[in-house]
Structure 1
Amino acid sequence: MKPTQKDAYELILEAIDTGIYKPGNRLVESELAERFGVSRTPIREALQRLETQNLLTRDGRSLIVASLDHGQLSELYVVRGALEGLAARLAARHSTPEELAVLRDMLEADRKLVDDPDAMSRANRRFHKQIHLASHNRFLVQQLDLVHRSMALLASTSIAVEGRPSDTLEEHERIVASIEAGDGDAADKALRDHISEAFTIRLRLDAAAVEAG
């Protein structure tokens, strides 16, 4: 099947999300077309779409992967905490036994990934997405998709910090236990606390990077 515009968009977005292209990297149509085996027209349209979504920005005539300043990072985490907390609250009310079983399975599988930060980071995204879906609110899921798209602009994962994978699993356990208990208040708080901890670690990483620079 011939690649579509959506294919090109998702390929570039995934490359940003996985760190192939980092904030400040220049994206060139011809290079992207060659890398992904897609013609330049859908690549061009995908780049325009990413620029509209503020994932790319202009540096003269070039398009580069955008970066988040301190204010934008803070704003993103405030919104993320509120929306993720709401998703957990709704999941505690609306999740099915099958969805709870999937969350439990994820927790068990993720225990084997504590020594692999990259795999743990991918698993973390899957875990959060499952909670979004378990909220059974399509408009909330759409907004969280936008938030997580912006998270792709973070150059590193907080899960890479020593000890963070184990802490993440403990926090995920509290979230799932609250959802299983049908306790919306506890689920909301557990997920907000989880996001708050990730944000604190992110700020420490950024401060260390500034000091090192």
Structure 2
Amino acid sequence: MSELITVSTVNKEVYKQLRQQIRTGKIRPGSKITIREIAARFGVSTMPVREAIRRLQAEGFLSVETRSVTVNKLSLDEVNQLFVIRQRLESLAIEWSLQNLDDNHVEEIKELEEILEEMDNKEISYNDWQRLNRTFHLTMYKLADSPSLQQLIENVWDKVTPYMFIYSSTINSFEEGQKQHYLMLDYLIKKDEEALTDLLVEHLEDTYKAIQKGLEESNK
């Protein structure tokens, strides 16, 4: 399957695709990459790749030395810290979302229901399930009507997403996660902040435990 880029905005597209491959674990944490390798993969010159690498280094995804580029790998403690941060930020998003939620948000609730229906597909791939999982959560948090909070949440998600793709993608975790998603939506509609927040914390703890187990086994 060709990954060649033919669009005119080459710099942006190289950055977008490289970031996506790192974020989804296609290029795994700890991997070393070369500018020529990425340029060949996307069918572009080295110039847009260098620009993409500079941006990704500034965002904390890559470490650049004289002759090597490494995808940053988080320690288990760092992953744990990010999940604690997610709990705090996303709990605040729930609080603000429920303050705003009213009868004018019928379309938003419908969108959440449609996302979950798509996730129910028994043939869904790991990548598509994780993509929709992210969409479900971020769509719910948009009800908070705070672009600043939304951006903070997305930034933290981006740091842990590779580990979610690599270590928490199992059928069992999908089934349990989906049960929790339906409960979240039910609590959201009922505006039950305490129940929704408690379930969110449980949901994040389950995800972290799956990642913790995977990281510990990979380090043996």
Superposition TM-score, scaled by structure 2 size: 0.86
- Pick closer, same or farther for the CA change 1:159–1:23 going to 2, 3 Å: closer
User: 1:17 — aligned with what?
Assistant: 23
Per mean C-alpha deviation after superposition, the further-off stretch among 116-125 and 43-52 is 116-125
Answer yes or no: is 1:128 the counterpart of 2:134: no
1:25 deviates by 1.6
User: 1:106 — aligned with what?
Assistant: 115
Taking the aligned partners of 1:88 and 1:9, their CA distance within structure 2 comes to: 32
Answer yes or no: is 1:170 the counterpart of 2:179: yes
Taking the aligned partners of 1:19 and 1:61, their CA distance within structure 2 comes to: 23
Answer yes or no: is 1:149 the counterpart of 2:155: no
Taking the aligned partners of 1:79 and 1:128, their CA distance within structure 2 comes to: 15
Per mean C-alpha deviation after superposition, the further-off stretch among 167-176 and 94-103 is 94-103
Among the aligned pairs, what percent are the same residue? 24
Match of 1:5 among 11, 31, 34: 11
Taking the aligned partners of 1:27 and 1:122, their CA distance within structure 2 comes to: 25
Does the Cα contact within 8 Å between 2:63 and 2:69 map onto a contact in 1? yes
User: 2:61 — aligned with what?
Assistant: 55
Taking the aligned partners of 2:159 and 2:207, their CA distance within structure 1 comes to: 15
User: 1:190 — aligned with what?
Assistant: 199
Taking the aligned partners of 2:199 and 2:92, their CA distance within structure 1 comes to: 11
Does the Cα contact within 8 Å between 2:167 and 2:215 map onto a contact in 1? no
Does the Cα contact within 8 Å between 1:81 and 1:196 map onto a contact in 2? no
In structure 2, stretches of 5+ residues that fail to align are 1-6
1:171 deviates by 0.8
1:61 deviates by 2.5
1:182 deviates by 1.8
In structure 1, stretches of 5+ residues that fail to align are none
Does the Cα contact within 8 Å between 2:112 and 2:139 map onto a contact in 1? yes
Does the Cα contact within 8 Å between 1:56 and 1:63 map onto a contact in 2? yes
Taking the aligned partners of 1:6 and 1:141, their CA distance within structure 2 comes to: 22
Taking the aligned partners of 1:3 and 1:34, their CA distance within structure 2 comes to: 17
User: 2:3 — aligned with what?
Assistant: none
1:201 deviates by 1.8
Taking the aligned partners of 2:62 and 2:203, their CA distance within structure 1 comes to: 28
Superposition TM-score, scaled by structure 1 size: 0.88
Taking the aligned partners of 1:59 and 1:157, their CA distance within structure 2 comes to: 26
User: 2:88 — aligned with what?
Assistant: 82
**Once the two structures are superposed, what CA deviation does each residue of 1:135-183 show, in whole Å capped at 9, x if it has no partner?**
2110111101211121244274444235111100111111111111122
- Pick closer, same or farther for the CA change 1:114–1:87 going to 2, 3 Å: farther
Per mean C-alpha deviation after superposition, the further-off stretch among 56-65 and 68-77 is 56-65
- Pick closer, same or farther for the CA change 1:114–1:77 going to 2, 3 Å: farther
Answer yes or no: is 1:209 the counterpart of 2:214: no
1:19 deviates by 2.5
Per mean C-alpha deviation after superposition, the further-off stretch among 136-145 and 112-121 is 112-121
Per mean C-alpha deviation after superposition, the further-off stretch among 97-106 and 116-125 is 116-125
Does the Cα contact within 8 Å between 1:23 and 1:155 map onto a contact in 2? no
The alignment covers a number of residue pairs equal to 211
- Pick closer, same or farther for the CA change 1:97–1:157 going to 2, 3 Å: farther
